[in-house]
């Protein structure tokens, strides 16, 4: 039972890469982007309903941009103009929910409408979306009234066919307004569909560490294939990583696993944490290795000994007949 002063902000990052959702729609018509968005909306509505002070943001992660589906720039929470609320208010729903849903739908329609096909940009800009989410959380935390706590998390929902797909991030930020101070819990839920993009690796890692510093949880709901980067993200920030066996039941998984916030999770029996593979990849072949050779000058990792480091061109002495002991690099668990 959160008190009046606790604010919880959830930011959901949804991967809406059209190329892959399009391919997915052709492969499995029963689960398409619309269904996914429906599930996300159920999740978002549930979150808003849990506590009056809960806040929400939804970011669509596209291959060309990261766009805020909710809240809209031009829309303020209290501003419920009668004309815009059309169908939603008809069923007596909590107005905030209907407004939110309509907004999201409109935004995604606009987003898809202005998609332009560009062949080289097929990867979802997940790192950028996460960065935007972090910035949003930071901004909201500054706008809180004195005496308000905020907890936030990011939910990344993604599914992973063989290459980049839709990252569906649900960022759940619970803002709790505490009487005695400002506690901000950030939870980013990332719903990921696409492959780990090699190009975004550095940015992604920076985002993860920034989230860790800010005590923002990153949860990940992976629809198709496992993503090592998201596993690391969840492990480092303390969130949950889940790979869903059944895509059609996405809403159920979201509500069961990702709706409770960090405090409540300790009381619940949730899927246990997965074993994270923290192995490094060698610079020459990009194989994941456990034991390798590290250049002492530039710290680049190789799987075989070579007398000259190819990155910094330092010459190393040829070892004596007894092979130089390979420096052990056990990177199994970095906890």
Partner 1 sequence: MFNVDRRLKFPSALILCLHYPACLLVMAALSEEVLLVVKRVRQRKQDGTLYLMTERIAWGPEGKDRFTVSHLYADIRCQKISPDGKSKIQLQLVLHTGESTTFHFANESTALKDRDAAKDLLQQLLPKFKKKANKQLEEKNKMLQEDPVLFQLYKDLVVSQVISAEEFWASRLKLSSVEHSLSNNSKQEVGISAAFLADIRPQTDGCNGLKYNLTSDIIESIFKTYPAVKQKYAENVPHNLTEKEFWTRFFQSHYFHRDRINTGQQDIFSECAKQDEKGLKSMVVQGVKNPMVDLLSLEDKTLDEGYGSLTVGPNSSKTVKENSNSAIIKRFNHHSAMVLAAGLRKVDAPSDQASETSSTDGNSRDSDFFQPPIKKVKLQEAIEYEDLQNGSGPKTIALNLKKSDRYSHGPVPLQSHHYSTSQDIINSVSCIQEEISCYKPCLTRVMPSSAASSAITALSPGGLLMQAGTQQAVSQLVPTDVQSELKHLYTAAGELLRHFWSCFPVNTPFLEEKVVKMRSNLERFQSTKLRPFQEKIQREYLSTNLTSHLDEMIQAAYNKFHAWQTRRMARKT
In this chain, which of 28, 77, 95, 117 binds partner 1, going by CB under 8 A?
A: 117
Which window, 4-12, 141-149, 181-189, 240-248, contacts partner 1 (CB under 8 A)? 240-248
In this chain, which of 156, 242, 262, 276 binds partner 1, going by CB under 8 A?
A: 242
In this chain, which of 72, 89, 163, 212 binds partner 1, going by CB under 8 A?
A: 163
Task: Give Cα separations from 140 to 46, 75, 91, 240 (angstroms).
Answer: 21, 15, 31, 24
In this chain, which of 205, 212, 214, 294 binds partner 1, going by CB under 8 A?
A: 205
Please give the full DSSP string across 133-145, using - where no structure is assigned: HHHHHHHHHHHSP
For the chain, the distance separating the N- and C-terminal CA atoms, rounded to the nearest angstrom, is 32
Measured CA to CA, the distance from residue 18 to residue 114 in angstroms comes to 11
Number of residues forming the site for partner 1 (CB under 8 A): 73
Backbone angles phi, psi at 102, to 5 degrees: -65, -40
Task: Give Cα separations from 60 to 129, 257, 280, 325 (angstroms).
Answer: 8, 21, 30, 49
Beta strands 288-289 and 280-281: pairing type? antiparallel
253 binds partner 1 (CB under 8 A): yes
297 binds partner 1 (CB under 8 A): yes
64 binds partner 1 (CB under 8 A): no
CB of 29 to partner 1, least distance (A): 10
In this chain, which of 50, 75, 311, 326 binds partner 1, going by CB under 8 A?
A: 311
In this chain, which of 58, 99, 108, 140 binds partner 1, going by CB under 8 A?
A: 108
Measured CA to CA, the distance from residue 108 to residue 99 in angstroms comes to 14
The residues in 267-286 that bind partner 1, with binding defined as CB under 8 A, are 269-272, 274, 279-281, 283, 285-286
């Amino acid at each position: 039972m959160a008190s009046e002063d606790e604010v919880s902000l959830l930011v959901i990052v949804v991967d809406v890469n059209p190329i892959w959702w399009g391919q997915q729609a052709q492969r499995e018509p029963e689960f398409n982007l619309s269904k996914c968005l429906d599930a996300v909306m159920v999740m978002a509505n549930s979150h808003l309903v849990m506590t009056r002070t809960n806040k929400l943001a939804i970011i669509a992660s596209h291959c060309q941009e990261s766009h805020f589906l909710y809240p809209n720039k031009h829309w303020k929470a209290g501003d419920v103009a009668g004309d815009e609320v059309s169908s939603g208010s008809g069923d007596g729903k909590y107005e905030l929910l209907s407004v939110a849903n309509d907004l999201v739908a409109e935004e995604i329609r606009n987003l898809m409408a202005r998609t332009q096909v560009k062949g080289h940009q097929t990867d979802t800009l997940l790192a950028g979306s996460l960065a935007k989410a972090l910035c949003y959380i930071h901004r909201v935390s500054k706008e809180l009234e004195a005496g308000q706590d905020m907890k936030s998390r990011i939910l990344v929902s993604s599914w992973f066919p063989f290459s980049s797909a839709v990252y569906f991030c649900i960022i759940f930020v619970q803002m709790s307004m505490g009487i005695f101070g400002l506690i901000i819990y950030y939870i980013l839920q990332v719903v990921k569909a696409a492959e780990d993009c090699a190009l975004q690796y550095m940015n992604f890692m920076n985002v993860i560490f920034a989230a860790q510093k800010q005590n923002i949880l990153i949860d990940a709901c992976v629809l198709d294939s496992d993503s090592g980067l998201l596993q690391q993200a969840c492990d480092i920030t303390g969130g949950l990583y889940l790979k869903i066996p059944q895509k059609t039941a996405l809403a159920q998984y979201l509500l069961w696993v990702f709706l409770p916030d960090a405090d409540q999770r300790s009381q619940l029996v949730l899927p246990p944490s997965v074993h994270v593979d923290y192995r490094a990849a060698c610079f020459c072949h990009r194989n994941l290795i456990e034991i390798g050779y590290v250049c002492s000058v530039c710290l680049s990792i190789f799987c075989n000994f070579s007398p000259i480091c190819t990155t910094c061109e330092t010459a190393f002495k040829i070892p004596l007949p007894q092979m130089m002991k390979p420096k052990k690099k056990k990177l199994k668990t970095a906890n």
